[in-house]
Structure 1
Amino acid sequence: MSGTNLPEWLVPSHFVIMGWLVSFAIVHSGLASLRPWAETKIGARPFRIIFALASLSLAVPMIIYFFNHRYDGAQLWDLQGVPGLKIAIWILSAISFLFLYPATFNLLEIAAIQKPEVHLYETGIIRISRHPQMVGQVLWCFAHMLWLGTSFMVVTCAGLIAHHLFAVWNGDRRWLAKHGAAFEQARARTSVIPFLAIAQGRQKLVLAEFLKPAYVGIAAFVGLFWWLHPILIDATSRVAW
């Protein structure tokens, strides 16, 4: 035990990453909640640019900090020598990206080339879960906690999942305010828990909806990230954080 009566494994990076996560959650979800009001004042495209720049200005240094401190704290478990685990982690990570970056995203709107809108979708990945980003984040966290096994990773994932669970409530609230009865009907036919609405007969899975260029793009991104992963790790290690 240290002089402050904190466990020796509870190093400052645990608190730093939580500070990054809380700051990102406030900015990202806060700006998302302000969107209806802000767009009436400055327009949809300028707000999208502000939203993206504010989010990225926090996300990029936070990711660098995460890479550099992912092995901090207590080593709660070490499964990296288990045969087949590494490929299983990559498969889980690839699946998580299919949820994190669903084909419902219009890249032209994200870049503010087209006017950004709050869309109400009920196709593709949304048939599996109404909040695919939350599902993808949980899968990503599970995979990386399994691989790393550190207390720093547990703290990081606790913050990430808490933010995404809040986003489930906040997203439903915003959709209801935007679409009213149409969202109520969509909510009745979808579920937050993956495959629940399908299992209950409220929804059906249409595999043909996944045969879209956007999903091919996600698969290509996963392959590219697999190749770039060691390069990114090496590059971020050169930042003295």
Structure 2
Amino acid sequence: MVSLFAAAAAFIVLHLLVSGTVVRDGLVRRLGEGPYMGLFSLASAALLTWMGFAYGAARGDEANLAFWGVTAGGRHLQYVLQLVAVIFVVIGLTTPNPTSVKQEQILQRPDAVKGMLRITRHPFLWGVSLWAAGHLIVNGDVASFLLFGSLLVLALAGTVSIDAKRRRVLGDAWAPFAAQTSNLPFAAILSGRQKLRLGEIGLLRPLASVVAYGALLVLHPYVAGVPALA
């Protein structure tokens, strides 16, 4: 359990105190954008791997107390949340987005706000948030709280951090895009600043999301050690 706590703490520190802060700006000036991104990605992957192995070991720890169990309603809610999460992740990763790395030039396009970005400017991170929240619903033990809880906090904090970084770096170029979109899903649409146009998303991305969801259900026992459907 100590190893999982240390891994989760290190992952949080790396992302909240380095990425998206003035510390990152200083490191980029010293190292360059490319080397910094390479080192940051390597460190993130290493910490995620550490968290994964530590989580597997911590689940059998006697200190891994369970605060809630799995209910039929919670399991069904989890299935729905995971589908929505996968949709947000897949469509988010395949949609040009100025909040993504090396895509700031998209702000210069007249159709910068399009498709999924009308719903939220951070679809990938909201997908991760839903994924983590769903897993917490059906995993009420300390180890799961450390793993999925830390990822949930980081994903939500990441949306705010990226906005702050883009505002700081891009200045006036960021303001129109931010005014036309929202961090919170559907907030811009509900406030009248945007219209929901699902046709801009197309059919391929949602179909790919459903396929990915099905693959995750099938592969879950091999990847996580427990069946997703039970």
The bucket for the TM-score relative to the shorter chain is: 0.7 to 0.9
Residue 70 to residue 88, structure 1, CA distance change in 2 (3 Å): farther
- 2:8 equivalent among 13, 17, 21: 21
Find the counterpart in structure 2 of residue 238 from structure 1. none
> How large is the RMSD of aligned CA atoms in angstroms?
3.2
Deviation at 1:95, TM superposition (A): 1.3
Find the counterpart in structure 2 of residue 231 from structure 1. 222
Residue 21 to residue 79, structure 1, CA distance change in 2 (3 Å): same
Find the counterpart in structure 2 of residue 95 from structure 1. 84
- Aligned structure 1 segments of 4 or more residues deviating by more than 6 angstroms: none
- 1:53 equivalent among 42, 49, 58: 42
Q: Give yes or no for contact 2:12–2:150 (8 Å, CA) kept in 1.
A: no
Find the counterpart in structure 2 of residue 10 from structure 1. none
Q: Deviations over 1:10-57 (max 9, x none)?
A: xxx2x5433222211332451454555555555544443322212111
Find the counterpart in structure 1 of residue 162 from structure 2. 171
1:184 aligns with 2:171: no
Q: Give yes or no for contact 2:4–2:58 (8 Å, CA) kept in 1.
A: no
- Count of matched residue pairs: 213
Find the counterpart in structure 1 of residue 143 from structure 2. 152
Q: Give yes or no for contact 1:134–1:161 (8 Å, CA) kept in 2.
A: no
- Quote the Cα distance in structure 2 between the aligned partners of 1:233 and 1:161: 18
Deviation at 1:176, TM superposition (A): 0.8
SS in 2 for 1:180: helix
Find the counterpart in structure 2 of residue 207 from structure 1. 198
Q: Give yes or no for contact 2:70–2:138 (8 Å, CA) kept in 1.
A: yes
TM-score using structure 1 length: 0.71
Q: Give yes or no for contact 1:70–1:148 (8 Å, CA) kept in 2.
A: no
Q: Residue type of the partner of 1:60?
A: T
- Quote the Cα distance in structure 2 between the aligned partners of 1:16 and 1:170: 27
**Stretches of structure 1 lacking an aligned partner (at least 5 in a row):** 1-12, 111-115, 236-241
Deviation at 1:175, TM superposition (A): 0.9
**Stretches of structure 2 lacking an aligned partner (at least 5 in a row):** none
Q: Deviations over 1:133-153 (max 9, x none)?
A: 442233223311221222332
Identity %: 25
TM-score using structure 2 length: 0.74
Find the counterpart in structure 2 of residue 8 from structure 1. none
